[in-house]
Structure 1
Amino acid sequence: MNVSLRIGVIGGAGWLGSAIANSMLNAGIVTSEHLSLSYRSAKPERFPSAFWTKDNQELVDRSDVVIMSVRPQDWDAVSIDANQKLLISVMAGIRISALQERHKTERVVRTLPNAAAEVSMSYTPWIASKAVQEHDRDIVKAIFSACGIQDEVKSERDIDHLTGFSGTGPAFPSLLASAMMEHAVGHGLSVDVARRAAVTLLKGTGRLLEKRQECPNDIVRAFVDYRGVTAAAIEEMRAAGLNEAVSRGLTVAFKRSESMGDTS
C-alpha cells in the first residue's frame, strides 16, 4: 500500500471513524501526516499529528480517499463534493446511487463494519459501484482487513441483510451473555463472577470456532448428541422459541435497513 495515500474520515471523532483511523495507522495504510479527520464539537485529543477540521469539504480537498463515517440520520447535514474521488461509506442503509448523486462521484463503495473494529475484529462486507477500479478495491481490502475480516459481496441486498447480522457486532452475543449473567446472579453468583464466566465463554467460543473451522451447528449437534446437561438446556431454549426469536429479529433488522435505503 502506498503510504503517501491521503485518507480523510468524515466523522473521525466518532467511535467507528476513530477505530478505523486507528486500524489504518497501525497497519501502515496511512501516516498521521496524511490522515484528515472531521469533528462537530470539541476537537479530540486523539491522533495529535493528524489534521483535524470542522469543515468536511476541506477534509475532502486534502484527501485521495474519503470515508463517510456518520450516523445515517446525520447524513443529510453532510454536504460535500467528492469530485470523483473514492468515497467509502460505512453508513447502514444508504445506497450507492444516493451517495453517487449527492456527493458527485461514481467511485463509491458501501461497507458495513461493526463495533469490533475497535479491537481489529470486525467483519466487514462491502460492495463497489461499477466505476470502482481494481486499485480502489485493493485500498478497500487493505483498510477493512486492518479492521478484521472483509468480504466483497454480490449485491446491496446482501449488505442490507448483513446489517442486522454481522453489522450488530457484539450486540447479540452480549444480549445472550446478559441473560446468562442475570440468571446466574439470580441464583446467588456475584456479578463479577458471572461477568467473568460470560466473557470468557464468548471469547473461548470465538477462538474455538476459528481454530476448528466447524459450522456452529455442528458444535451444537455434538452437544445435543452427547445427551448431557447442555443438551437439556439447548432443547429447552429451542422449545421456548429461541430460533424463531432470532429469525424474527434478523428479519426486522433487514427490513429496517431496506427501508432506510428507500428513503435516502
Structure 2
Amino acid sequence: MNYYTIKDLETLSGIKAHTIRIWEKRYGLLEPLRTITNIRYYSDEELRKLLNVSMLVKHGYKISKVSVFEDKQIQQEVLKLNEKSLSSEGIIDQLIVSMVNFDHLNFEGILAQEIERIGFEETFMTVVFPLFEKVGIYWQIGSVFPAQEHFVSNITRQLLIRESSRFSNHQASSTVLFYLREGELHELSLLFYQYLALKAGYKTLYLGQNVPFDDLLKLEGMQKVDRVFTAFINGIEPDELNDYIQQMNAAFKRKKVFVTGAQLSLHHPQLPSNFKVVADVRAFKKYFGTLGERVS
C-alpha cells in the first residue's frame, strides 16, 4: 500500500490543502492517519476518494451533497460525467483517477471515446501528451509511483503500436529510421512521430529505445534508409551532446537527419547542414509532408 502526504493530495487533486482540511473537519470526508510526530498521511483509498470527489466538485457538484454519498454512489456519478463531453482538462482528470486506481478498462475507454470524438492525432496532442506532462511533474515530486507511470505508459504505447500497424507502406520510396540512443528510455514521442510518418506514406524502420551506436553503423550495408529521426530527452552534458551529433553526422552524412527533444533547446548544439530540429508536430509535418509531395 502507498501513502501520501496532504501536499501529495493537493498536487494530484488540484484541491488546496487548506480546503482538504476543511472537508475533513466539516464533512468527515477523509480519515487520515498520523505519524508519531502528528503529521497527516493518507492511503490509496483516500486518495482515490478525493480524486473522485474533486472531479465532481469541479463539475458543479456541491461538496455538502457529495460528502454524504456512499463510495459506490460517488463512483456512479463519476461514470455519468464520463458519458458527457468534457473539456480536455476534465478528461485528463478522469485519466489520472483511472491511473491511481490502475483501472485499465476505464483508462482505455476514456481514450477510445476521445479518439471517436476528435480523432487519434488530436487526442494525443490535447489529452495524452498533456497528461504525461502532469504525470512527469507528479513523478518528480514523488506524488506518483513508478508503477503508476508504467501503467499508463504501457497502455498508450500499445495504442500507438496498434494504430501504426494499420499502415502498410512496404513499397514506399522513402524509409525513415527511428531510434533513441543508449540511455534514452522515453519513447512515446518517438512512437507518435513514427505514426505520423506512416500516416504520411513513409516506410519506417523502428529500433526503439536504448540503441547502441555500433548497431546503427551495421545497418548501413543491410537496410536502405533515407531519413533518420531521434530525440534527446534525458539529461546530457553539452560536450557529450556535441560529440554524439558529430558521430551521427559521420554515420549519416548523406542522409537527412531530424532531431527533437528538450536537450536541444537547453544546450543549442551546432548542427550540420543536413540536420533539422523538429520543435513540434507542426514542424514535423512541414519537413515530412505527405510522401509524393514536395517537402523540405
Same fold, judged at TM 0.5 (above):
no
TM (norm. structure 1) is 0.29
TM (norm. structure 2) is 0.26
